[in-house]
Amino acid sequence: MSASSDTDEGDDNSVLLKLAKLLREKGDVLLNGSSTLVLNTCWLLQLNRMFQELLQVRPNQYTGFLALPTHPADNGTVIEMQLLFDMIQKTPSLKLIHLPGTRLHASLNIFSFVSLEHLELRNVPLHSMEGLQAVNSNVKSLTCWKCVDTLEEVLSQCAGDFASGFSWHNLDTLNFSHNFISSLDDSLISLPKLEILNLSHNNIVDCEDFLKSLTELTQLDLSFNLLEWLPNLSLEARSHLTVLILSSNNLHSIKGVEHLKCLETLDVSHNILKEHCQLAPLYQLHHLHKVM
């Protein structure tokens, strides 16, 4: 569900009122998770401004769900903003997009999305992003596209919240593909339940031992990077990893793949594996049924 409009900045209020009307009519598909709320960063700023001015709701003022007064307001705009705030607090899935050339005059705060389970950030300047620490307790999947330089800035610092040693207790899917990541770091320790990790289309040369903290990992995509060797995984992950995608790297060998006893899908295409004998470890993988 996208909040889209051709109106200019002077018509921002009308855009929000249209969004409120849309949610009033079709909000059930948003609340049941079958649809995702798509906002650009300008609309988020305008939402927060309206919440503060009309509802006296301010970032960092509260944690958890906030019940607004049940009595009807006299102002129709206030009524619609109450509806919007209530729906946003219950929204499980959000995609936030920063459009090219957009100037931000305030921080991007998602404090009101307290029920988020799925969050996607596209081109969002992370230094301006706040409220991530307040809403992340329910987040199960996180996608960041073309906005991440290091894992730490999101996973440990929670972007503009500048937290320290934060943990994502319920996150099971992390997609940081198509970013600017050149190395991993120990912020991966903050993901105790992570099962699916996508770090494709980055500039990673060596994973070192940082992936060893991911004991629940079942799917790993490191395609389109600069890896020369297979990543080191924990003993637990080796025993239940089913999908490993390493295409379009600089792999000279797949030594170590024989330890992935439950592997079902392996993609090592477009690497530097020159000899057929280098694929010999695959004969020890009895569950493997798809190789590329």
Reported as a single tens digit per residue, the pLDDT across 76-135 is 677 788 888 888 889 999 999 999 888 888 889 998 898 999 999 999 999 999 988 888
pLDDT in tens, 88-99: 889 999 999 999
What does DSSP say about strands 265-267 and 243-245: parallel, antiparallel, or unpaired?
A: parallel
- Averaged over 6-13, what is the pLDDT? 50
pLDDT in tens, 223-262: 999 999 999 999 999 999 999 999 999 998 888 888 989 9
Length of the chain (residues): 292
AA letter at 128: S
How much is the mean pLDDT over the chain? 86
Helix or strand or coil: residue 45?
helix
Residue 2 has pLDDT above 60, yes or no: no
pLDDT in tens, 11-21: 567 777 888 88
- Averaged over 5-30, what is the pLDDT? 71
Comparing 24 with 145, the larger pLDDT belongs to 145
pLDDT given for residue 10 in this prediction: 46
Residue 4 has pLDDT above 50, yes or no: no
What is the per-residue burial (b if ≥16 Cβ within 10 Å, else e) of 194-215?
bbbbbbbbbebebbeebbbbbb
Helix or strand or coil: residue 96?
strand
Q: How far apart are CA 14 and CA 96, in angstroms?
A: 20
For the chain, which domains are there?
222-292 (3.80.10.10)
Using only the alpha carbons of the chain, give its radius of gyration. Answer: 22
Contact 242, 221 (CB under 8 A): no
Chain centroid, CA 47 distance in Å: 21
Residue 73 has pLDDT above 70, yes or no: no
Q: Which of 208, 203, 136 is CA-nearest to residue 176?
A: 203
Which helix (H) or strand (E) element contains residue 46?
helix 41-55
Give this prediction's pTM. Answer: 0.88
Q: Band of the pLDDT at 69, cuts 50, 70, 90?
A: low
As a dihedral over the C-alpha atoms of residue 121, residue 125, residue 130, residue 133, rounded to 10 degrees, the angle is 50
pLDDT given for residue 68 in this prediction: 61
**Cβ neighbours around 180 below 10 Å, total:** 12
Q: What is the DSSP string of 138-199?
A: G--EEEEES--S-HHHHHTT-GGG--SS---TT--EEE--SS------GGGGG-TT--EEE-
Residue 283 has pLDDT above 80, yes or no: no
- Averaged over 46-64, what is the pLDDT? 73
Q: How far apart are CA 229 and CA 222, in angstroms?
A: 11
Indicate left, alpha or beta for 129 from its phi (over 0: left) and psi (-120 to 50: alpha).
beta
Residue 288 has pLDDT above 90, yes or no: no
